[in-house]
């Protein structure tokens, strides 16, 4: 997604050490005057879920109503729909090979170029892969009945609805 406020891309990342990769990302963010957020795509319901989390977090920041101390963590809280940062961190980087939604705030060609030194940008997935649906149901408390009503192809809407409830919980 290419917006003036932020940009989102999908990437493959080899994470040998979460603190090590976070350090490299922070260095890029500071040198390019950006904020960079990495979200674990395997725990998410696609692009729309990533976009929704970023938009909600940016709105909370503008209004001075963030639950977290940083925009990066606020986005992860909106990804998981929880207020506890300990839970939110589980939706960020994890050790090993991982697929992530990566966000730059604001968007920056130079930022993407620098990040390409530590990750490989890939084609964004279309919708939500079928094999991810069972884990999304568990993560977000979605029932078979709910999924039956809206249809499996609209699971992203159910997840986004669940995570948007964080604004009410604050």
Answer yes or no: are the C-beta atoms of 39 and 56 closer than 8 Å: no
Distance separating alpha carbons of residues 114 and 19, to the nearest angstrom: 18
pLDDT digit string, tens, across residues 113-151: 999 999 999 999 988 999 999 999 999 999 999 999 999
pLDDT value of position 2: 47
Q: 152 in a domain, yes or no?
A: yes
Identify the residue whose tokens are 């990750």: 119
Range of the domain at 121: 7-169
Q: Which residue has the higher pLDDT, 37 or 168?
A: 37
The whole-angstrom separation of Cα 13 and Cα 121 is 9
Whether 42 is covered by a domain: the verdict is: yes
47 occurs within a structural domain: yes
Residue 28 maps to which CATH number?
Answer: 3.30.2380.10
Number of domains, the chain? 1
Q: Residue 74: is its pLDDT beyond 60?
A: yes
pLDDT at 1: 44
Tell whether 18 is covered by a domain: yes
Question: Within 13 Å and on the Cβ side, how many CA atoms surround 49?
Answer: 34
State pLDDT tens for residues 19-63: 999 999 999 999 999 999 999 999 999 999 999 999 999 999 999
> What is the structure's pLDDT at 164?
81
Residue 118 inside a domain? The answer is yes
Entry pTM: 0.93
Q: Is residue 115 part of a domain?
A: yes
Tokens standing for residue 105: 């705030």
1 occurs within a structural domain: no
Residue 55 domain flag: yes
**Buried b or exposed e, range 152-165, using 16+ CB within 10 angstroms:** eeebbebbbebbee
């Amino acid at each position: 997604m290419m917006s003036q406020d932020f940009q989102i891309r999908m990437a493959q990342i080899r994470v040998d050490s979460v603190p090590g990769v976070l350090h490299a990302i922070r260095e890029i963010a500071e040198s390019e005057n950006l904020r960079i957020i990495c979200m674990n795509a395997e725990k998410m319901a696609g692009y729309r879920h990533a976009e929704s989390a970023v938009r909600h977090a940016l709105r909370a920041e503008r209004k001075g109503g963030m639950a977290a101390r940083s925009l990066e963590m606020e986005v992860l809280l909106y990804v998981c729909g929880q207020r506890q940062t300990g839970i939110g961190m589980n939706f960020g980087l994890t050790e090993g090979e991982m697929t992530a939604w990566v966000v730059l705030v604001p968007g920056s060609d130079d930022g993407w170029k620098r990040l390409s030194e530590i990750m490989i940008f890939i084609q964004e997935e279309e919708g939500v892969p079928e094999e991810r649906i069972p884990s999304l149901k568990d993560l977000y408390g979605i029932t078979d009945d709910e999924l039956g009503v809206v249809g499996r192809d609209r699971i992203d809407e159910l997840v986004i609805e669940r995570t948007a409830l964080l604004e009410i919980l604050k």
